[in-house]
Structure 1
Amino acid sequence: MSAEYVIRSIRADEWPAVKEIRLASLQDPVAHVAFLDTYDHASGQPDLFWQERAADAAEGVLERQQIVAEEVGGRWVASLVVLVEEAGAVGAMGDVSDVRQGHVVGVFVRPEVRGQGLTERLFASGLQWAWGVADVDRVRLFVDERNGRAESFYRKFGFVPTGKSVPAPGNPDARELEFVFERS
């Protein structure tokens, strides 16, 4: 079923679609544990915000890349972003990495296309970009310990827990667990 989708990097001029899928992701029932933003905040952002967001993660950018799954007709049904974190630099979660690495954030798959193998294709494309274009040593992600659906997928795909965690933003009683996928 997932063969109906094109997996690709976004273009800078596709900011309206970037905005649409981000707002859709923020309406997901687990958005409060999956994303560091809210629908109310994001929906109030001006067009310039979305234009810059798209341009900063578009095809040809080496510091980050937004990968999408596009169905026939052009609607985006899934998305993820890979950030590049340099060794010794402060990472997206405020920690310092000892290696150059990718960091997957903003993963969203529309509910009606889950379970079709599309998420695996999306992640494979994100890792391919990380290894081939960004030339990182590993890719990591953080998952809120309360987001069992996402954690289960990451483990099944091949990400392994490092044992490291950070406080979940906005909830000091919850933790975000670090998972990595090493370059083979």
Structure 2
Amino acid sequence: MSTLTSDDYVIRAIRPDEWTAVKQLRLDALRDPVAHLAFLETFENAQSQPDGFWQDRAKGSGEGSTSAQQFVAETADGSWAGTVTVLIEEAGTTDWAGAPVEQRQGHVVGVFVRPEHRGNGLIKSLFDAGVAWAWKQRAERVRLLVHEDNARAQGAYRKIGFAPSGVSVPLASDEAQNELEFVLMP
């Protein structure tokens, strides 16, 4: 896989042996003030997972995987400024919410940019890498779900080129609240 670079970041797929960094970035993301709107997982649940969980997660979405790929933005000092993961969903299967998947698609999850790196275009660079990977995997579209109250994320996704599809998914934890599907077509 080719590496995208800029003056401040290298955008690249994680390596399976980087599971401790994957775990730390996820725990940091789950401490974000809007984590309750952005993630279906809690900090407490993630923190309680054994090392094997994180090792499997990094292996399953690491460099070379064709079913999922996690991208990070690495700074000059080697720290990770943000991440995006893209899962491939196959036509004829059901998604995490039990809805039928009608076409091969990329599903963006786990979007996080550290607060000190927001607002500078980094999220677009992360998405560019993730979406390019999904197209390489023959995805017919790329989608993501965003909480109806997460206006900041919705604005960022629109700016990148995603548009609301009109599909709304009730949250299992609170059926009065919804996740909105945004899509990007090739």
Q: Which residue of the partner structure matches residue 91 of structure 1?
A: 95
Unaligned runs of 5+ in 1: none
Q: Which amino acid aligns with 2:165?
A: T
Q: Which residue of the partner structure matches residue 160 of structure 1?
A: 163
- Offset, 1:4: 1.1
Q: Which residue of the partner structure matches residue 150 of structure 1?
A: 153
- SS where residue 49 of structure 2 aligns? coil
CA RMSD of aligned residues (A): 0.9
- Offset, 1:93: 3.0
Q: Which residue of the partner structure matches residue 181 of structure 2?
A: 178
Q: Percent identity?
A: 54
- SS where residue 25 of structure 1 aligns? helix
Aligned residues, how many? 181
Residue 116 in structure 1 maps to residue 120 in structure 2: yes
Q: Deviations over 1:49-70 (max 9, x none)?
A: 1111100100110000001101
Asked if the contact 1:162/1:180 (under 8 Å) is kept, the reply is yes
TM-score (norm 2): 0.95
Moved over 2 A (4+): none
- SS where residue 7 of structure 2 aligns? helix
Give the whole-Å Cα distance in 1 for the aligned partners of 2:41 and 2:12: 24
Q: Which residue of the partner structure matches residue 106 of structure 1?
A: 110
The one of 121, 131, 141 aligned to 2:144: 141
Q: Which amino acid aligns with 1:128?
A: A
Q: Which residue of the partner structure matches residue 21 of structure 2?
A: 17
Q: Deviations over 1:28-85 (max 9, x none)?
A: 1111111011111111111111111100100110000001101112111100110000
TM-score (norm 1): 0.96
- Offset, 1:90: 0.4
- SS where residue 129 of structure 2 aligns? helix
Asked if the contact 1:36/1:169 (under 8 Å) is kept, the reply is no
